[in-house]
């Protein structure tokens, strides 16, 4: 059964309709603000209500800078090393290499990169970064974290290496010509710096001059070239031929190793012999 309600006058109906209209007008702007964020008016109201502080505006600007950074990647002769080109200057002068997390304490970016699983080495060039991974690591899984670390760092405005480390690198520049250098050594350093180093850096690596004795030039390979299978070919067929051509006093080029490198090389040779004997 339906119960009949008393009839209402037209004036009462108009008043009720007016109240509903006012109520709807008071509620809809708030509902529109959150349910339809594509509206320009909603964006303006939301920005005014939530983003009034200068600090947050600075963060928005930094975020916009991050979105405009375009990081390119380039392969190297070493399948475990990849070259990242952020489109901005990386090292103000010289280069820097970090082989473990402890060694990376002098660089905020290197320290952050070593927190990514699979990162084995970090090398900073003039306008690029070379990252070397473990053999079992997968680039596709590592790249998003690497991109994020690079963009966050350059948006922060921090120096890529500490002032002490940068000053030490400048003082210990391997190809800096000293007063007591012989004419032969000066020619070797000039060739390394102007003819050989640019091509090595194109492959994501670098070379470090370690001395000249009895006709033998000692060089240390860095970056992608350090653990590359073709490093011996690079030294003998590339660098050695060029130095012997322009500097008759040079009879050979040898790769120099640090103490840690020598230990790693010995362990690798032991493993290689063990696998061959199986």
- Domain map (residue ranges) of the chain: 10-50, 70-167, 175-277
Residue 273: the pLDDT is 67
Helices (H), the chain: 10-35, 40-50, 54-68, 108-113, 139-156, 163-171, 183-191, 197-202, 231-233, 241-246, 259-277
The pLDDT-based confidence of 123 (bands split at 50, 70, 90) is very high
Q: Which residue has the higher pLDDT, 177 or 269?
A: 177
Output the pLDDT for position 173. 66
Mean pLDDT of 173-198: 88
User: Three-state DSSP class for 247?
Assistant: coil
Reduce the DSSP state of residue 269 to 3 states and report it. Answer: helix
Which whole number is the average pLDDT over 242-255? 92
* pLDDT at residue 58 in the model: 39
Res. 182 pLDDT band, cuts 50 70 90: very high
Distance CA 42, CA 37 (A): 6
Q: 175-277 has which CATH code?
A: 3.30.300.130
Q: So what's the pLDDT on residue 250?
A: 94
Closest CA to 135 of 77, 76, 83, 81: 81
Do 260 and 99 contact (CB within 8 A), yes or no?
yes
Write the DSSP assignment of 49-68 as a string of letters: HH--SHHHHHHHHHHHHHHH
* Residue with the larger pLDDT of the pair 165 and 162: 162
| CB neighbours of residue 41 within 10 Å | 11
- The region of weakest confidence among 55-64, 84-93, 101-110, 154-163 is 55-64
pLDDT band at 261 (very low <50, low <70, confident <90, very high): low
Q: Do β-strands 216-223 and 252-255 pair in parallel, antiparallel, or remain unpaired? A: parallel
Return the pLDDT at 68: 67
Residue 149 pLDDT exceeds 90 = yes
Q: Are 160 and 124 in contact (CB under 8 A)?
A: yes
What φ, ψ does residue 83 adopt, rounded to 5°? Answer: -100, 125
Q: Which residue has the higher pLDDT, 148 or 232?
A: 148
pLDDT at 47 over 60: no
Encoded tokens for 106: 């002098």
Q: Where are the alpha helices (DSSP H) in 131-253?
A: 139-156, 163-171, 183-191, 197-202, 231-233, 241-246
Find the mean pLDDT for residues 42-57. 38
**Per-residue tokens: 141:** 């899984």
Residue 91 has pLDDT above 60, yes or no: yes
Q: What tokens were used for 201?
A: 């850096």
Cβ of 171: how many Cβ atoms within 10 Å? 8
β-bridge partners, 124: 96, 129
Residue with tokens 């927190």: 115
Report the distance separating Cα 97 and Cα 129, nearest Å. Answer: 10
Average pLDDT (118-125) is: 94
> Which segment of 108-117, 125-134, 196-205, 255-264 scores lowest on mean pLDDT?
255-264
**pLDDT of amino acid 21:** 36
Q: Which two tokens stand for residue 37?
A: 């964020």
Pick from 171, 154, 167: nearest CA to 108: 154
Average pLDDT along the chain: 74
Domain 70-167 -> CATH class: alpha beta
């Amino acid at each position: 059964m339906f119960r009949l309600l008393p009839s209402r006058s037209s004036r009462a109906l108009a008043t009720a309709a007016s109240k509903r209209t006012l109520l709807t007008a008071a509620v809809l702007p708030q509902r529109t603000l959150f349910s339809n964020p594509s509206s320009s008016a909603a964006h303006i109201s939301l920005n005014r209500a939530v983003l009034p502080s200068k600090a947050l505006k600075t963060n928005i600007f930094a975020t916009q800078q991050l979105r405009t950074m375009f990081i390119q990647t380039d392969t190297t002769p070493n399948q475990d090393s990849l070259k990242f080109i952020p489109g901005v200057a990386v090292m103000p002068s010289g280069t820097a290499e970090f082989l473990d997390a402890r060694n990376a304490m002098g660089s905020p970016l290197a320290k952050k990169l070593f927190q990514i699983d699979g990162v084995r080495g970090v090398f900073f060039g003039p306008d690029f970064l070379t990252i070397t991974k473990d053999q079992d690591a997968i680039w596709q899984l590592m790249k998003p974290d690497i991109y994020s670390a690079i963009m966050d760092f350059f948006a922060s405005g921090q120096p890529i290496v500490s002032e002490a480390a940068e000053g030490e690198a400048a003082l210990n520049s391997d190809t800096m010509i000293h007063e007591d250098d012989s004419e032969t050594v000066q020619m070797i350093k000039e060739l390394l710096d102007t003819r050989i180093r640019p091509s090595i850096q194109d492959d994501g690596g670098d070379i470090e001059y370690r001395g000249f004795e009895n006709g033998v030039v000692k060089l240390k390979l860095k970056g992608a070239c350090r653990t590359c299978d073709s490093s011996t070919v690079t030294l003998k067929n590339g660098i050695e031929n060029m130095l012997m051509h322009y500097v008759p006093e040079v009879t050979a080029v040898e790769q120099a190793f640090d103490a840690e490198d020598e230990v790693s090389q010995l362990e690798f040779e032991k493993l290689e012999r063990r696998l061959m004997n199986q």
